[in-house]
Structure 1
Amino acid sequence: MGEPRPLGRFGEYGGRYAPESLVEACREVDEAFRQARADPGFAAALAELLALHAGRPTPLTPARRLSQELGVQLYLKREDLTHTGSHKINNVLGQALLAARMGRRRLIAETGAGQHGVATATAAALLGLEATVFMGERDMERQALNVFRMRMLGAEVVPVTTGSRTLKDATSEAMRHWVGATGDSHYCVGSVVGPDPYPWMVREFQRVIGDEARGQCAAELRTGVPDHVVACVGGGSNAAGTFAGFADTSARFVGVEAEGGAGAARGRLGVLHGCRSLFLQDDDGQIIEAHSIAAGLDYPGVGPEHAHLRELGRARYVTVTDEEAVGAAVRLARSEGIVPALESAHALAWVIRAAGDGELAAGSTVLMTLSGRGDKDISTLKELL
């Protein structure tokens, strides 16, 4: 999981399928990122922000009671304990620093569950930038708490009323808005999707998860490396960041998608939001609306590197139903005192299912990235339980 081929190609996936008006903007981001990546000063500034503002490193927590129940050794990489409550802050602090380095004064973002929007609003306030966040009207209703948090932090939240009124449509609107604002604004993409260089740039900003976990596993586990590395996948940033830390090991990667948003598991080759990847499509090649109880997984595709990892057989992608995810969230709350985001609960649901049916061997070690905390989902869970 190194640098992609020219124009961000991961095998046949990736690329820069952007409108002509955005091609130069993408080139500028690519050049600025490569320069920043080679600059020790940029790395030091980002490391300082991650430590002092985001609260890194996050702990590796053994889920002792649940492990005993399941017959496996489950370890949780606690991204829920970062400032703003999810892994999204890692990428956003990196991109916000990059935007300031480029002389941009405003961040544009899309958001589904609201966590990326909150992280963007937070970073903008911290660095003295403006923030405009596009969010589907349906997601705004089910994630009202995060909408309030974004506005309290000073961001403009723009409702998106087209299509399914969820993450796909918010992304489309954000990209359209960027077309007319490239001179003073940076599009802060929230996942490993979009035109080159975004898929690998976001992965590189998120690999702090995997790099930290690799060192923590080396100290905690007898073998030094877990048997399985598991994470939920919408676009797939927390999974890509986690997998990157274990790319050269024997650990088996499992990406867990929502049953109604299984781009990697059931998608077809297509182009959306600037990249070539796997997307849910009908026989005419039209994008099919995704569905998930977790707004952050309500996306009809997957990042191009995930599509490539699936094709290579390096990672496996499985699906989990809404009901399984809710059950997993309750089980973690009652066994470990942790209320996870519904996105993260999808990953846990697969671990529970795989341990129960013998797919995970007794005593095997499992590292699971707990990508976010469940505060934002309390009203949804309250209605169901």
Structure 2
Amino acid sequence: MSEIKSVFKSGSAEAHTLLSENGYYGNYGGSFIPEILVPAFEEISKQFEVIKNDEAFWQEYCALLADYSGRPTPLTYADRLTEHFGRAKIYVKREDLNHTGAHKLNNALGQAMLAKKMGKTRIIAETGAGQHGVATATVAAKLGLSATIYMGREDMERQYANVFWMRRLGAEVVAVDYGSQTLKDAINETLRDWVSSFETTHYVLGTASGAHPFPAIVAFFQSIIGIEAKQQIIQAAGQLPSHVYACVGGGSNALGIFQAFYPHDEVQLVGVEAGGQGKESGNHAARIAYGEGMPGVAQGYKTMFLQNKDGQMHDTHSIAAGLDYVGVSPILTDLSEKGRVQFAAATDAEVIDALEVVMKTEGLIPALESTHAFAGAFQHLAESSRSDIFIINMSGRGDKDIFNVAEGLRDEEWKAFIQQKNKQYND
């Protein structure tokens, strides 16, 4: 516990230099909320400032990160992947080894503890890939809170393994059957719940988006990723990396690893969005990389959204449910406009190809979301040299994606297995 606490505390001042106190990041962010929720947001903002200096809170939080979640997660040198490409040295930050299999627990645990500090007995959350839902259900069970998780029907079907575990952990999982039935709609439904229940309920927003102070809260709790990675790469390689890659849906894992490297201009930060079926297809979730996002206000904050000129949100597409979102963190939008974070996009096909390479060279099975970061890094390797160092944030593990991966690989044996099981259930 003491190691985690010292790492987080010693790195926090530098890591959080980009966070805003008034909720705006350049032209983006803010708090566009219904009047009924103003007291809830004021309470959260006040208590968040209090816990930053609450020694008892930090002792409990850091002890749980170490003894329950398993931090610090390692930084793995991908020697065979490096040899495969013959270019930059590749290191992988292993958030897949965090409890529940992704970075999501860092934030869910912190916010659930914050909820208890505020006297709340219930937490609610949205989820796309299901990893935030599982993390929320897990911490609810650990801390004795009730939990309700909202999830788009389409996401439930492609991530049903996580739905199963959320329910087994004691959470109520509510399907959202309107709109695109994905993450955008799950967020809307969670907000509707909160309007009528905030006196007893805290909304554990899973990504660094939404109304202030949520982007700051999520980025704060996720910053442990980059704080660890920075110390680990200096110890392993004796220098800072040349590039850091992370996938970007809403932005939590990207900001988690980017913050510690933000003050170092020589480190190129690259966010990789979901290119889906390609820019020309219109079936993607690349708000910044494809240059199709437009400024707008929705779901309580201002950022770049995929929308038409009348402000109507487009449907999005990605093979990775966690990246299938119409907006992006206002912090990342601002950093993009300032030129500090570069953006790339990886198509579904590129992601499947990258996944096969990573599995067969390193024995790692990244989540489809995380594989976008690998695919984005692979796009740039040809321009790199052997003196360069790439860190790729493996934000989650891929066992949840077995159905989507098998479909993407057109695995006939898996198809036959599913048909056989279906026949057994129906006989």
Bucket of the pairwise TM-score, normalised by the shorter protein: over 0.9
**Which position in structure 2 is the counterpart of 1:352?**
378
Question: Which of residues 332, 337, 356 is equivalent to 1:306?
Answer: 332
**Which position in structure 2 is the counterpart of 1:281?**
307
Amino acid in the other structure paired with 1:91: N
Question: Which of residues 321, 328, 337 is equivalent to 1:295?
Answer: 321
Which secondary structure does the structure 2 equivalent of 1:24 belong to?
helix
**Which position in structure 2 is the counterpart of 1:262?**
286
Moved more, 275-284 or 114-123: 275-284
Q: Give yes or no for the alignment of 1:326 onto 2:352.
A: yes
Per-residue Cα deviation, 1:50-85 (whole angstroms, up to 9, x for no partner): 111111000000110011122110100000011100
Question: Which of residues 164, 172, 179 is equivalent to 1:156?
Answer: 172
Shift in Å, 1:344: 0.5
Amino acid in the other structure paired with 1:341: A
Question: Which of residues 114, 120, 143 is equivalent to 2:136?
Answer: 120
Amino acid in the other structure paired with 2:178: T
Which secondary structure does the structure 2 equivalent of 1:245 belong to?
helix
Per-residue Cα deviation, 1:4-48 (whole angstroms, up to 9, x for no partner): 445311011100011111121111101111100111221111111
**Which position in structure 1 is the counterpart of 2:154?**
138
- Kindly indicate whether the alpha-carbon contact (under 8 Å) linking 2:80 and 2:362 is maintained by their aligned counterparts in 1: yes
Shift in Å, 1:3: 5.8
- Kindly indicate whether the alpha-carbon contact (under 8 Å) linking 1:7 and 1:16 is maintained by their aligned counterparts in 2: no
**Which position in structure 1 is the counterpart of 2:82?**
67
Question: Which of residues 208, 211, 235 is equivalent to 1:219?
Answer: 235
Shift in Å, 1:110: 0.1
Question: Which of residues 237, 243, 247 is equivalent to 1:232?
Answer: 247
Q: Determine the C-alpha separation between the residues in 2 that align with 1:21 and 1:263.
A: 31
Question: Which of residues 14, 23, 28 is equivalent to 1:13?
Answer: 28
**Which position in structure 1 is the counterpart of 2:385?**
361
Q: Determine the C-alpha separation between the residues in 1 that align with 2:20 and 2:93.
A: 30
Shift in Å, 1:157: 0.1
Q: Determine the C-alpha separation between the residues in 2 that align with 1:189 and 1:38.
A: 22
- Kindly indicate whether the alpha-carbon contact (under 8 Å) linking 1:262 and 1:301 is maintained by their aligned counterparts in 2: no
- Kindly indicate whether the alpha-carbon contact (under 8 Å) linking 1:14 and 1:304 is maintained by their aligned counterparts in 2: yes
TM-score by length of 2: 0.88
Question: Which of residues 41, 45, 48 is equivalent to 2:63?
Answer: 48
Aligned length: 382
Q: How large is the RMSD of aligned CA atoms in angstroms?
A: 1.0
Runs (4 or more) in structure 1 with deviation over 6 Å come to none
Q: Determine the C-alpha separation between the residues in 2 that align with 1:219 and 1:78.
A: 16
Q: Determine the C-alpha separation between the residues in 2 that align with 1:268 and 1:331.
A: 35
Shift in Å, 1:184: 0.2
Identity score, percent: 49
Amino acid in the other structure paired with 1:261: A
Question: Which of residues 231, 236, 252 is equivalent to 2:268?
Answer: 252
Q: Determine the C-alpha separation between the residues in 1 that align with 2:312 and 2:385.
A: 41
Which secondary structure does the structure 2 equivalent of 1:285 belong to?
coil
Which secondary structure does the structure 1 equivalent of 2:69 belong to?
coil
Q: Give yes or no for the alignment of 1:383 onto 2:398.
A: no
Per-residue Cα deviation, 1:183-237 (whole angstroms, up to 9, x for no partner): 0000000000111000011000000000000110110113x21000110000010
Which secondary structure does the structure 1 equivalent of 2:288 belong to?
helix
**Which position in structure 1 is the counterpart of 2:256?**
241
Amino acid in the other structure paired with 2:392: M
Q: Determine the C-alpha separation between the residues in 2 that align with 1:307 and 1:7.
A: 17
Shift in Å, 1:363: 3.2
Moved more, 154-163 or 360-369: 360-369
Shift in Å, 1:353: 1.7
- Give unpaired runs (5+ residues) of structure 1: none
- Kindly indicate whether the alpha-carbon contact (under 8 Å) linking 1:280 and 1:287 is maintained by their aligned counterparts in 2: yes
Q: Determine the C-alpha separation between the residues in 2 that align with 1:282 and 1:252.
A: 32
Shift in Å, 1:278: 0.7
